[in-house]
A and B are shown apart, each in its own frame.
Chain A
Amino acid sequence: MRYDSITEAIGGTPLVRIDPAVHGLRHIDLYAKLEMLNPFGSLKDRAAWNMTRDELAGAAERGETVVELSSGNTAKALALIAGLHGLAFKSVTNRMRIPEVKDLLLLLGAEIEELPGRSECLDPTDEDDPLTLFHRQLNLPGSAHLHTDQYFNVLNTEAHASGTGPEIIADLDGRAPDWFVACVGTAGSSTGVARALRAHDPAVRVVGLVGEKSDFIPGIRTIDEVQEVGIFDPATYDTLEPVGSDEAIEGMLTLLRRCGLLSGPTGGAAYFGAVRHLREVDAGLTERRTAVFIVCDRVESYVGYVRRRRPDLMGLPPVRNSVATLTEAEVASAAVIGVDEARKWIAERQPLVVDLRGPFAYAALHIEGSVNIVDGLFEELLRGGLPFGRSRPVLLACPVGEKSARYAALLTRMGHPDVRSLAGGIIAWRDAGAPLVRD
């Protein structure tokens, strides 16, 4: 395969059969359309390219900025396409809740504007939502923008009607599947694919999956949010069913661990929703049927998302020399020392004074001659053993003397003979009028 531009690699994604031993459906062949294998990493590559390809030359001439309301994959694809053509890209959104995606966009050179949160004190005279204001700003005369407008742009839908849908039919040897299952975000892929499949076989059933209202699955809208999408038409779907983030992650785990598919949570939601929907009909079937769902992007960006919801999936073994392993008795027996005594001790024995606070606070004010080892780093340091010799006494200090007492207990357990914790911490030191310096 030899291409002149990466955009030529968009589309032509594989359709992979899911092992029946995994999904357990007896009469239905279930296939995953691997949209994550598009060059920019997601299903949105198709829409982004289709919405821009004919506009780019003119936009470059006029020095326009590509603008889209996107929190993720569309922004990613547009940022890359814009960069490829010497254009700037700006994303405006109030939905950017995946920090890794945000960082990646910044890395790609995108400018991100986040809309403010909801008002706590409602102003009944305020008629305009931030999005309306944004659109108004965009339409000001003289503003140089190429607004791709994915929620209303028919080229979004068309990318899938002419690409994704026909590819599925071709890979199924010229037949449309009996069921098509897709998560609804911009509704572009579900609408476009459904159109292509139904044109081929009107009996295709389309299952749209939406997020549960109180929940959050990246890339999916809730049943109310889809109503804000111009290309969303409820008639496209034979059924709209909700999926929760736990279910999405459950489905994703199956794809990752049993199918070898590096799917993100949206693909997981599609798999989970597909199997849940099909399991019921499967029982009543006697002939073979086919179903297709979409794996829309890859897992890597969502590791933090999963960690927050399912920390158990990343459970690390207990570490050596951790403050978490201390007993209350050990902590209580740690040597503590009051401010006056500490000042004398410092003058006489010159212990190493370790300030466990963050560098920002340390830089502002600290005990003269102390070193700053932030608690988190100190904890990591101790995993490997004592970071200083046993002959030198050590005074540990934190804001109120609580953390330092725990570390003093740990160092004592690790064999240091003379570690003390500053009672009451830096706050007590300050309140006693003892000197604090900034260098």
Chain B
Amino acid sequence: MSNDPMNGGPSHSGSLSPPLYLEPRLAPRTAALLESPAFLHGLVDALGSPLNVILPDQIADNVRGFHEVFARHRLSGRIFFAHKANRSSALVRRLTTTGAALDAASLGELRHALGSGFAGAEVMATGPKDPDFLWLAARSGTLVNADGADELERAAALVRAHGLPRLRVLVRLSGFEAPGARRLSRRSRFGTPVKSLHRLLDVLDRHRGELEPVGVGYHLDTTSVEEKAAALEGCLHAMEELRLRRFQPRAIDVGGGFGVGYLAHAAQWERYTTELTRAVLGARPPLTWGGHGYGLRAENGTLRGALGLYPAHRTTAGPGYLDELLSLPAPGLGRPLGTLLLEGLYELYAEPGRALADQCGLTLGRVLEVRSSGGGESLVRLAMNAGDVSLEDHGVLVDPVLLPRAPSPPGGPVPVAVHLMGNLCLESDLITRRTVFLPRQPHPGDLLAFANTAGYCMDFGATRAQGQALARKVAVHREGADGDWQWCLDEQYWPFTRTGEAQG
């Protein structure tokens, strides 16, 4: 029986030593949930695989974390949850009780927010705006985060045509420059170059009766806090321009992109990325399906390209990142950016998506089949596909947690290397392109839990391709300090108990 691939015999260990784990960082609530495998197995038995599990109380904790950063810098303002990170009703409804606001990037999201209890004034409309989206935003008193002059013109025309109240707008700027060195920036589709601010101001000037500019903002796709500092300082100068035109702006929107730390151990991440580099250079066996290099390639023995992976282990992420940004001296004005916001009497708006959904949910997939690939690594087929848990699309490398159906056989677990395959009839349907190391061989019927998927990795790319079922979504919470886990369908969740008392 030792050759039976289902048993993962010692013949596998050659390619395994030592296994390169990337263990997930688990907040206490997530860890506690994973300590209840019987509960999770029961949910998947009843509702099918894949299954998304939402932890709405966690998002309230996360909002608190951001509010603490605001308080530390004595700033008032608002946290806007970027709804696109997750479609969950439970998260949106739970947020209505936290003082957070919501950033809706489509008509559907705006309707969802309004239908979940958000007042129009607590919502900001961002992203590309169709006429219907813009109309409902204006109609419901939503703050419109405008991408450019054209959008402002369309909004003003709409307000005039329908006799709507003056519409609050915020203008999204881009192309900021810092003094000294020139910073090359990634080309973006969004925002108006700050050099063309005067054109926006002309538009706002013409439509004083229809539009009320409350401030300016930016959204930069970068992990670099220095680039954001330059942008924030640029916004401070833009606010001054607004004042000079006799507007009374009051808010600066610093966008999101504060990041999430997915991994528990820095050392695992460092070792993994070094081994990946060696694998690309041919110094060790491949760590991925087909030798995929995640953006790296070898040219004449030298490493080229850039590692296309999310920096999954971070010392500073989420609220800590915002704190760092606010503490950073402005490149030109010198004083800390948080101090400059406060002294300018400005409110701070932030739109964290991923960071606010940190640890707010996980995705479960059932193991359907385990077979030997002949190359030492097993192929594990799951009842889910790459769209259901799009960690790979976002470059997030993190190990799933194995939740066995039956207790482990005697003799102690033997680590295995596996490739996780999806349920589509497509060569490309790999849950991960990398070889995943698990502490023991999975068996059909076991569950793999992908932790921390609520931010963009849960339903962002999910489709009904090939007629496969979309993951059901459930909200779970605990009643009392160490009470049992309770669950309901995501759409059945409201932030109060069946008898109407507040939950969480």
Chain A partners chain B: yes
Q: Contact: B343 with A399, CB < 8 Å?
A: yes
Say yes or no for A115: interface residue by CB 8 A criterion: yes
Q: Contact: B181 with A122, CB < 8 Å?
A: no
Complex Cα distance A422/B340, Å?
19
Q: Contact: B270 with A214, CB < 8 Å?
A: yes
Say yes or no for B154: interface residue by CB 8 A criterion: no
Complex Cα distance A132/B74, Å?
43
Q: Which of A174-232 contact B (CB under 8 A)?
A: 213-214, 223-224, 227-230, 232
Closest A residue, CB atoms, query B353: A121
Closest A residue, CB atoms, query B178: A114
Q: Contact: B344 with A118, CB < 8 Å?
A: no
Q: Contact: B257 with A124, CB < 8 Å?
A: no
Q: Which of B181, B301, B395 has the most CB of A within 10 A?
A: B181
Complex Cα distance A120/B258, Å?
8
Given contacts A116-B186, A214-B266, A358-B333, contact A227 B224 (CB under 8 A): no
Say yes or no for B62: interface residue by CB 8 A criterion: no
Q: Which of A386-426 contact B (CB under 8 A)?
A: 398-400, 402, 426
* B496 to A: closest C-beta gap in Å: 34
Closest B residue, CB atoms, query A120: B257
- Return chain A residues, CB-CB under 8 Å to B306: 129-131
Complex Cα distance A365/B249, Å?
13
Complex Cα distance A186/B227, Å?
27
Q: Which residue from B281, B308, B335 sits with its C-beta under 8 Å from A122? A: B308
- Return chain B residues, CB-CB under 8 Å to A233: 301
Please give the number of chain A residues whose Cβ is less than 8 angstroms from any Cβ of chain B in the complex.
50
Q: Contact: B335 with A117, CB < 8 Å?
A: no
* B172 to A: closest C-beta gap in Å: 16
- Return chain B residues, CB-CB under 8 Å to A365: 345
- Counting contact residues on chain B (CB < 8 A from A), the size range is 35 or more
Contact with A along B304-320 (1 / 0, CB 8 A): 11101111000100000
Q: Contact: A399 with B345, CB < 8 Å?
A: yes
- Return chain B residues, CB-CB under 8 Å to A232: 302
Say yes or no for A102: interface residue by CB 8 A criterion: yes
* B317 to A: closest C-beta gap in Å: 10
Contact with A along B330-353 (1 / 0, CB 8 A): 000111000110111100000000
Q: Contact: A360 with B333, CB < 8 Å?
A: yes
- Return chain A residues, CB-CB under 8 Å to B309: 122
Say yes or no for B36: interface residue by CB 8 A criterion: no
Complex Cα distance A228/B183, Å?
22
Say yes or no for B98: interface residue by CB 8 A criterion: no
* A337 to B: closest C-beta gap in Å: 19
Say yes or no for B286: interface residue by CB 8 A criterion: no
Complex Cα distance A210/B395, Å?
27
Q: Contact: A364 with B344, CB < 8 Å?
A: yes
Complex Cα distance A102/B180, Å?
9
- Return chain A residues, CB-CB under 8 Å to B221: 119-121
Q: Which residue from A117, A122, A124 sits with its C-beta under 8 Å from B224? A: A117
Say yes or no for A427: interface residue by CB 8 A criterion: yes
Complex Cα distance A131/B309, Å?
17
Say yes or no for A243: interface residue by CB 8 A criterion: no
* A405 to B: closest C-beta gap in Å: 13
Complex Cα distance A374/B335, Å?
10
Q: Contact: B182 with A361, CB < 8 Å?
A: no
Complex Cα distance A121/B184, Å?
18
- Return chain A residues, CB-CB under 8 Å to B270: 213-214
Contact with B along A104-130 (1 / 0, CB 8 A): 001000011111111111101011011
Q: Contact: A116 with B227, CB < 8 Å?
A: yes
Q: Contact: A113 with B181, CB < 8 Å?
A: yes
Q: Which of B82-127 contact A (CB under 8 A)?
A: none
Say yes or no for A96: interface residue by CB 8 A criterion: yes
Q: Contact: B305 with A132, CB < 8 Å?
A: yes
Q: Contact: B182 with A112, CB < 8 Å?
A: yes
Q: Which of A120, A129, A374 has the most CB of B within 10 A?
A: A120
- Return chain B residues, CB-CB under 8 Å to A96: 181
Complex Cα distance A127/B307, Å?
10
Say yes or no for B324: interface residue by CB 8 A criterion: no
* A260 to B: closest C-beta gap in Å: 35
Given contacts A118-B311, A120-B221, A399-B343, contact A230 B183 (CB under 8 A): no
Closest A residue, CB atoms, query B250: A430
Closest B residue, CB atoms, query A399: B342
Say yes or no for A76: interface residue by CB 8 A criterion: no
Q: Contact: A227 with B281, CB < 8 Å?
A: yes
Complex Cα distance A369/B304, Å?
61
- Return chain A residues, CB-CB under 8 Å to B185: 116
Complex Cα distance A131/B224, Å?
17
Complex Cα distance A393/B412, Å?
79
Say yes or no for B205: interface residue by CB 8 A criterion: no
Say yes or no for B429: interface residue by CB 8 A criterion: no
Contact with A along B403-418 (1 / 0, CB 8 A): 0000000000000000
- Give chain A's interface residues, CB within 8 Å of chain B: 92, 96, 102-103, 106, 111-122, 124, 126-127, 129-132, 213-214, 223-224, 227-230, 232-233, 357-358, 360-362, 364-365, 374, 398-400, 402, 426-427, 430, 438
Closest 7 CB pairs of A and B: A117-B224, A129-B306, A361-B343, A112-B181, A357-B343, A227-B303, A120-B257
Q: Can you give 19 contacting A-B residue pairs, CB < 8 Å? A: A103-B180, A106-B181, A113-B182, A114-B182, A116-B224, A117-B222, A118-B222, A120-B259, A122-B393, A124-B308, A130-B184, A131-B306, A213-B273, A214-B270, A358-B333, A361-B344, A364-B240, A399-B343, A426-B345
- Give chain B's interface residues, CB within 8 Å of chain A: 74, 180-186, 221-224, 226-227, 236, 240, 243, 257, 259, 266, 270, 273-274, 277, 281, 295, 300-306, 308-311, 315, 333-335, 339-340, 342-345, 393-395
